[in-house]
């Protein structure tokens, strides 16, 4: 994390949790994503070099601001601040032109630069506000730390809300629909040897689980299991097969089925390193005989039903921990709603 | 270490700059076998690989890999770049070899985010 961000968000000196880390990462990303022009104030009160210091006093008081840029022929020629004004007042010099007291070497930030650039300048110089100029060095606006904080908060709230709404709708599925046994079934047809699109179904499944409110760990665990299973269909099945996922409040059932060729020796197929995969599958980084072993590692229960000439059914089941479970309807008197 | 620093070590080129973000990278994983990545790589790792096909991007997505570096000058196809862009995974092409880049990054303080197979066979 950059120094300026640490200063801005004051996270130093305490333990950073995963949740914090996620938020910080997003804030950091935003400090690179957002441009100064996205967060700056455009409605800027300007003065001219020949205006008097009295005019500065009136302007700052009227608009409750602590400084203003000084413009001549559309160009930024200086900035005048409360401190400059105090110096002029101390000299009894309120009728002097601004150019006598203004700062002429102005530090600026470009409108197309990321806000992190402005943060770096704030941290380095202790300046509180910066003029933002466009590619032609013309004044485009002013930026303060407050503008940045506001801009970041608005952006976070926006993408948080968008995702929350999608998640809210999906994750309340199990609460809104009352039945003795509610489940959501996702079904995908998998084509044989389709290495180009292989993994697409698993990708959709992982995304769906996240939308339903699964933790990233749970979605990853299921994603890896179904991806290995999907690749098995692509690599081995004669005519492709079906990948089916059944999401229930307390468990996720995943299943692939195909109509051949079938596994002659299931026990052997479960040996780490045993593989009958083609050269093509191997060239894709699979077929090392680790797929089923890896699935076993990801799920709570795995079963294979297979016979040569008949096809293969692979059953996988993941039990959700109590803190992970999808929002379930109130339990029926007969017991859990599964 | 920042992803931009990782790229400097790799002398690499970002192939989907539109989604590039200068993520903080805590560790890495080097593998050509995608099953190894699925089993052993921990979430958030940068993946260094000599394999170059769409399944690398899919695997990266499933295993929550932060960014992928294709080594030895391998060039992903436009379709792969498009897929990675959709999935928000920065992909980088580097002329360096696996051994060299892994070594340099490890020496520079990047942790290995690879677990051993035996960890799962207790």
Cis check for the bond before A261: say yes or no (omega within 30 of 0).
yes
Q: How confident is the model at residue A152 (pLDDT cuts 50, 70, 90)?
A: confident
Sheet (strand A109-110) strand order: A109-110, A129-133, A139-144
What's the gap in Å between the CA of B55 and the closest CA on chain A?
7
Any domain includes A313: yes
Of A28, A227, A288, the CB nearest to B33: A288
Chain A contact for B122 (CB, 8 A cutoff): no
Pair (A188, A296) in one structural domain:
yes
Pair A101, A87: CB distance under 8 Å: yes
**CATH number of the domain where residue A82 is located:** 3.10.580.10
Q: How confident is the model at residue A332 (pLDDT cuts 50, 70, 90)?
A: very low
Q: How confident is the model at residue A13 (pLDDT cuts 50, 70, 90)?
A: very low
Any domain includes A9: yes
Pair (A38, A124) in one structural domain:
yes
Cβ of B61 within 8 Å of Cβ of A28? The answer is no
Among residues 3-32 of chain B, which lie with CB inside 8 Å of chain A?
Answer: 21-24, 32
| Mean pLDDT value of segment A85-111 | 92
**What pLDDT, on the 0 to 100 scale, is given for residue A331?**
43
Pair (A195, A66) in one structural domain:
no
Lowest mean pLDDT segment, chosen from A8-12, A69-73, B3-7, B103-107: A8-12
**What pLDDT, on the 0 to 100 scale, is given for residue A327?**
62
Cβ of B34 within 8 Å of Cβ of A285? The answer is yes
**What pLDDT, on the 0 to 100 scale, is given for residue A17?**
54
Pair (A186, A311) in one structural domain:
yes
For residue A145, the number of C-alpha atoms closer than 13 Å in the C-beta half-sphere is 14
What's the gap in Å between the CA of A89 and the closest CA on chain B?
48
Cβ of A224 within 8 Å of Cβ of B63? The answer is yes
What's the gap in Å between the CA of B70 and the closest CA on chain A?
14
Q: How confident is the model at residue A161 (pLDDT cuts 50, 70, 90)?
A: confident
Pair (A14, A116) in one structural domain:
yes
Give the residue from chain A lying closest to B53, CA to CA: A284
Interval A174-225: pLDDT, tens? 777 788 888 899 999 999 999 989 999 999 999 999 888 888 889 999 999 9
Give the residue from chain B lying closest to A232, CA to CA: B35
Of A195, A203, A286, the CB nearest to B61: A203
**What pLDDT, on the 0 to 100 scale, is given for residue A18?**
55
Closest C-alpha to A302, from A266, A249, A326:
A266
Interval B29-62: pLDDT, tens? 999 999 889 988 888 899 999 999 999 999 999 9
Pair (A134, A224) in one structural domain:
no
Ordered domains of chain B (ranges, CATH): 3-108 (3.40.1390.20)
Any domain includes A169: no
Chain A contact for B39 (CB, 8 A cutoff): yes
Cβ of A284 within 8 Å of Cβ of B55? The answer is yes
What's the gap in Å between the CA of A82 and the closest CA on chain B?
38
Residue A160 has pLDDT above 50, yes or no: yes
Of A32, A228, A297, the CB nearest to B22: A32
**What pLDDT, on the 0 to 100 scale, is given for residue A79?**
93
| Mean pLDDT value of segment A124-131 | 87
Q: Which residues contact B44 (CB under 8 A, 6 or more apart)?
A: B25, B26, B27, B64, B65, B66, B113
The whole-angstrom separation of Cα A244 and Cα A312 is 14
Element (H, E) at A37: helix A36-39
Any domain includes A166: no
Note down the domain range covering A56.
3-150
Pair (A145, A182) in one structural domain:
no
Cβ of A286 within 8 Å of Cβ of B34? The answer is yes
Pair B72, B97: CB distance under 8 Å: yes
The whole-angstrom separation of Cα A114 and Cα A163 is 24
Pair (A115, A208) in one structural domain:
no
Residue A242 has pLDDT above 60, yes or no: yes
Of B33, B55, B61, the CB nearest to A195: B55
Lowest mean pLDDT segment, chosen from A67-71, A279-283, B10-14: A279-283
Pair A287, A278: CB distance under 8 Å: yes
Chain B contact for A273 (CB, 8 A cutoff): no
Cβ of B39 within 8 Å of Cβ of A290? The answer is yes
**What domain count does chain A have?**
2
- Work out the end-to-end distance of chain B between its first and last CA atoms, rounded to an integer number of angstroms: 33
**What pLDDT, on the 0 to 100 scale, is given for residue A201?**
96
Residues of B in contact with A220 (CB under 8 A): 43, 62-64
Chain A contact for B42 (CB, 8 A cutoff): no
Of B21, B34, B63, the CB nearest to A32: B21
| Mean pLDDT value of segment A83-107 | 92
* Residue A193 CB neighbour total at 10 angstroms: 14
Residue A1 has pLDDT above 80, yes or no: no
Any domain includes A107: yes
| Mean pLDDT value of segment B84-103 | 96
Interval A279-315: pLDDT, tens? 888 888 888 888 898 899 899 999 999 999 899 999 9
Among residues 71-110 of chain B, which lie with CB inside 8 Å of chain A?
Answer: 79, 87
Q: Which residues contact A217 (CB under 8 A, 6 or more apart)?
A: B43
Chain B contact for A223 (CB, 8 A cutoff): yes
Instruction: Provide the percentage of residues in chain A whose pLDDT is more than 90.
Output: 50
**What pLDDT, on the 0 to 100 scale, is given for residue A336?**
39
Residue A27 has pLDDT above 80, yes or no: no
Give the residue from chain A lying closest to B54, CA to CA: A196
Any domain includes A333: no
Q: Which residues contact B85 (CB under 8 A, 6 or more apart)?
A: B16, B18, B19
Any domain includes A290: yes
List beta partners, residue A143: A130
Pair (A134, A225) in one structural domain:
no
Q: How confident is the model at residue A86 (pLDDT cuts 50, 70, 90)?
A: very high
Any domain includes A163: no
| Mean pLDDT value of segment A253-270 | 93
A-B contacts at Cβ under 8 angstroms: 84
Pair (A189, A112) in one structural domain:
no
**What pLDDT, on the 0 to 100 scale, is given for residue A21?**
57
Cβ of A228 within 8 Å of Cβ of B61? The answer is no
Pair (A203, A291) in one structural domain:
yes
What's the gap in Å between the CA of B99 and the closest CA on chain A?
19
Single out the residue in A150, A168, A187 at which a domain terminates.
Answer: A150
Give the residue from chain A lying closest to B1, CA to CA: A1
Residue A4 has pLDDT above 50, yes or no: no
Return the DSSP state at A183: -
**What pLDDT, on the 0 to 100 scale, is given for residue B117?**
61
What's the gap in Å between the CA of B103 and the closest CA on chain A?
23
Q: What pTM was estimated for this model as a whole?
A: 0.65
Of A25, A32, A202, the CB nearest to B62: A202
Return the DSSP state at A126: -
Pair (A201, A280) in one structural domain:
yes
Model ipTM value: 0.86
């Amino acid at each position: 994390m950059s120094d300026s961000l640490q200063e801005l968000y004051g996270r130093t000196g305490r333990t950073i949790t995963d949740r914090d880390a996620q938020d910080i990462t997003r804030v950091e990303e935003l400090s690179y994503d957002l441009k100064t022009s996205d967060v700056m104030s455009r409605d800027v009160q300007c003065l001219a070099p020949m205006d008097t210091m009295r005019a500065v006093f009136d302007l700052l008081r009227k608009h409750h601001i602590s400084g203003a840029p000084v413009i001549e022929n559309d160009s930024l020629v200086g900035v005048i601040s409360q401190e400059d004004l105090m110096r002029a007042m101390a000299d009894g010099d309120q009728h002097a032109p601004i150019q006598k007291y203004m700062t002429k070497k102005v530090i600026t930030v470009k409108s197309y630069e990321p806000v992190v650039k402005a943060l770096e300048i704030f941290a380095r110089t202790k300046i509180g506000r910066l003029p933002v100029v466009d590619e032609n060095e013309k004044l485009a606006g002013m930026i303060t730390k407050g503008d940045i904080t506001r801009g970041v908060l608005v952006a976070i709230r926006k993408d948080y809300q968008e995702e929350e709404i999608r998640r809210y709708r999906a994750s309340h599925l199990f609460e809104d629909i009352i039945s003795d046994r509610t489940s959501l079934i996702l079904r995908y047809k998998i084509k044989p040897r389709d290495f180009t699109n292989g993994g697409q179904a698993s990708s959709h499944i992982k995304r769906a689980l996240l939308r339903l409110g699964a933790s990233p760990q749970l979605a990853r665990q299921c994603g890896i299991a179904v991806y290995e299973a999907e690749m098995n269909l692509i690599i081995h099945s004669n005519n492709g097969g079906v990948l089916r996922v059944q999401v229930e409040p307390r468990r996720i059932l995943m299943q692939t089925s195909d109509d051949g060729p079938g596994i002659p020796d299931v026990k052997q197929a479960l040996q780490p390193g045993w593989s009958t995969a083609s050269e093509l599958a191997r060239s894709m980084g699979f077929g090392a005989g680790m797929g089923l072993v890896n699935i076993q590692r990801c799920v709570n229960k795995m079963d294979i039903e297979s016979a040569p000439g008949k096809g293969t059914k692979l059953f996988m089941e993941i039990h959700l921990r109590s803190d992970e479970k999808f929002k379930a309807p109130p339990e029926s008197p007969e017991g859990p709603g599964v | 270490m920042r992803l931009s620093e990782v790229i400097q070590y790799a002398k690499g080129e970002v192939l989907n700059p539109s989604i590039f973000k200068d993520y903080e990278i805590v560790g890495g994983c080097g593998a050509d076998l995608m099953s190894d990545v699925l089993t052993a790589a921990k979430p958030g790792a940068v993946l260094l690989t000599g394999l170059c096909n769409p399944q690398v991007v899919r695997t990266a997505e499933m295993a929550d890999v932060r960014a992928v570096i294709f080594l030895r000058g391998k060039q992903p196809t436009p379709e792969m770049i498009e897929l990675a862009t959709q999935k928000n995974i920065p992909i980088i092409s580097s002329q360096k070899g696996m051994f060299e880049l892994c070594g340099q990054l490890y020496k520079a303080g990047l942790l290995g985010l690879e677990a051993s197979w035996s960890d799962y066979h207790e």
